[in-house]
Amino acid sequence: MTPLFEPFTLRDVTIPNRVWMPPMCQYSAAPEGPEAGVPTDWHFAHYAARATGGTGLIVVEATAVSPEGRITPYDLGIWNDRQVEAFRRITRFLAEQGTVPAIQLAHAGRKASTERPWKGGAPVGPEAHGWDSVAPSALAFDERHPVPAELTAGQIEDLVEQFAVAARRALAAGFEIAEIHGAHGYLINEFLSPHSNHRTDAYGGSYENRTRFALDVVDAVRAVWPDDKPLFFRVSATDWLHEGGWTADDTVRFAGDLRAHGVDLLDVSTGGNASGVRIPTGPGYQVPFAARVRDEAGLPVAAVGLITEAEQAEKILANGEADAVLLGRELLRNPSWARHAARELGGEVRVPDQYHRSV
């Protein structure tokens, strides 16, 4: 048994291997009407292919807790029962393949209401199914984005409840793990960072105040998410700013807080909250941030970021830098990456009977 293909158990959920798929938006749902935010045949085929390819855990893409929480009008949502029913088809199939289905609950904040990336990603208005965005502070993400409306304390409380209601629906939809999206410059990340949070009330200023909303969301979700099922949190470990932003030290401290509030694993990414920054990318460039959290906060972590080779992934786990690896673009390129890696490393992965000739 190689580390990459050892099972991993959190609470009462056992994930068959450490090859995981991170949330990657497909921007392929209807933008309005009764089918808005509802998974389509594209989503089913997309996730089913990675499950039959041996992926141990699939985290379904950022799924909005409200219509206004979508990144684009074409994002998935989980604010109504029609969406829940459509998700059941996906979670049922994934579970039949031995893959653990997870979902990322999200709100885009000031980066909401934009066009799809292949259409340029610019903010859109009502004429293109758009809406007005909200944020901790009335600060635009960049010169292209409009200034968002600053959330009131009452609206913040409503948002916490929206995450809880979405978690209940995720459970009804058959998901085994819920992940709260606190990264990449979206709403929760905007509260965490002093770069985007200039509030002077109980939700801004000090570290304790800036993390309040995130921990309120964690508490609300954990209260409705069963004790036997894990809860993940995705974080941007740094804004990549020289000063005035969220830092790796903040992340280590925050990881301890998350652990105390019932989070079982930190999904460690970086960036996305400040425009125009230079990020020194390269193979495994975000792994050291995950390793710090695992070593200093004692919280299990998953590492992501230009992890492409089986030997590279195996080394990350063998060195104790992470408990699992998340492969994004590589799984887009090769849905059967886990099966190929198992063959290369001498590990074992489940193969559907219909594909037995490929072993």
Q: Helix or strand or coil: residue 353?
A: helix
Neighbour-count burial for 31-51, b at 16+ CB within 10 Å, e otherwise: beeeebbbbeeebbebbbebb
Q: Which of 232, 231, 139, 136 is nearest to 189 (CA)?
A: 136
Number of H helices, E strands in the chain: 11, 13
Reported pTM: 0.97
CB of 224 within 8 A of CB of 164?
Answer: yes
Catalytic residue IDs: 186
Residue given tokens 């990020």 in the structure block: 279
Query: 168-196, pLDDT tens digit by residue?
Result: 999 999 999 999 999 999 999 999 999 99
What residue ranges define each of the domains in the chain, with the CATH number in brackets?
Answer: 3-358 (3.20.20.70)
**Residues 85-103: what's their mean pLDDT?**
98
CB of 187 within 8 A of CB of 159?
Answer: yes
Query: 273-285, pLDDT tens digit by residue?
Result: 999 999 999 999 9
What's the pLDDT score for residue 64?
98
Neighbour-count burial for 210-232, b at 16+ CB within 10 Å, e otherwise: bbbbbbbbbebbbebbeeebbbb
- Give whole-number Cα distances, 55 to 191, 195, 295, in Å: 33, 36, 26
Query: 300-355, pLDDT tens digit by residue?
Result: 999 999 999 999 999 999 999 999 999 999 999 999 999 999 999 999 999 899 98
